[in-house]
Amino acid sequence: MSVKKKTLFRSGIAGAGAAALFAGSWAAGLGGATAGAAEPAAPQQAAAPTAADPHSDVPLGYAAEAGGTTGGFGADVVHEYLLSEYAAEAGYSDPGEAMYDLLNQHRRADADEGLVIHVDTTVEPDNLTGNKMDVKDVSNVSILGVGDSAEFDGAGIKVTRADNIIIRNLDIHHVRLGDGDAITVTEGSHHVWIDHNTFSSTLDVDKDYYDGLVDITHNSEYVTVSWNHFHDHWKGMLVGHNDSAGSAPDKITYHHNHFERLNTRIPLIRHADVHFANNLLEDIDGSAINARMGSQVLVEGNWFENVGSGEDDSHAGYPEGPVGWWYGSNSTGYWNLVDNAFVDSPHEHLESTTDFTPPYAFDADSPADAKAAVEQYAGAGVIDPTP
């Protein structure tokens, strides 16, 4: 694939349907644009799916609600780049600096413009002009790894006050810079889809050496985290950074993710409504779903194997395991347990404490079918989201 810059004008086509326009108008070089195009109509949101498909270009769950998440391809005008080629032609020695430049340019874009960055190289901390790759104060952005070549080695991504953002097919690992998260979604960001990525560090360090893998905080909402592989890390994920209801995120879906050799926070949830479905959890040393502060979680069709220390938690009064409220916060959250499989995981004490369900249709797999699908399709380098 060779993308320098491609600018597409479209009418009434968004999401997965955008690929059909790739033979359309091209702008050669770095600064060109197609002239004389008709005023485009507003993009039409594709119907949200109800069954998981690892190859889908449309999210399932909360990111598909309230207008949906289409990323850069959902805009009327799409500016599309292959990162290595843009860096070379724009005179950047480092791809991280080139990516910063593209995102900074996009902050000044019109509301009907989208940015698609195809990442085909490695971004490292010394490539960055700051301590994170900031996706900040922008809309309509897709960051898509090409094949198995897209790596963020020690460099994280921070989504701040942004909406309609898609991050797919990246290998993000060993992140310490900034807040130490691989991906942070914060400050009212909404409609974010994090899909088919791999996140990791190492357990051969202190538990506070790194922070979270995907943390969602500060009033962010309508987020789907799907088909990712999280492994070899201490603190998995936060939904809500403290007990304050005023800054709580909400409306998060986790489906068909593989959580392997983690310690805790899978995820730790405060206040939010969360759908946790068809995930595979293996070899979790401490505890998994930690529901606090009135959060409500539908825990549906998951496979838990060797999850939890089994040690009685003095705070909760029951053993650390797949689902519960442990070691902190002023009050418990609530869980609705539907058709989960527990293998060598303390669960005999578990029962539902709410009847919460999300407001969308979801055709859940059986735990065994989910396990097989996740083992085959979760993580980066498995699918290629580049049309």
Q: Cβ distance 253 to 277 under 8 Å?
A: yes
Residue type, 187: E
Residues 6+ apart with CB under 8 A from 130: 100, 178
Other CB atoms within 10 Å distance of the CB of residue 131 = 16
Pick the catalytic residue from 10, 107, 161, 265.
265
Total length of the chain = 387
Closest among 309, 263, 304 to 281, alpha carbons compared = 304
What's at 2, amino acid-wise? S
Element at 276 (helix H, strand E) = strand 273-277
Helix (H) or strand (E) holding 143: strand 139-145
Report the C-alpha gap between 234 and 232 in whole angstroms: 7
Residue 332: DSSP 8-state: B
Rounded Cα–Cα distance for residues 183 and 212 (Å) = 8
Q: 143 — alpha (psi -120 to 50), left (phi > 0) or beta? A: beta
Under 8 Å between Cβ of 3 and 29: no
Amino acid, single-letter form, for residue 48: A
Cα 261 from Cα 266, distance rounded (Å): 11
Angle at 216 between CA 218 and CA 84, to 5 degrees: 115
108 catalytic? Reply is no
**Is residue 167 within a helix (H) or strand (E), and if so which, with residue range?**
strand 163-168
Phi then psi dihedrals of residue 19, to 5 deg: -60, -25
- Give the C-alpha distances (Å, rounded to integers) separating 241 from 144, 186, 203, 224: 28, 10, 22, 18
Pair of tokens at residue 296: 């409500």
Distance separating alpha carbons of residues 166 and 197, to the nearest angstrom? 11
Give the residue numbers annotated as catalytic, written as ranges. 265
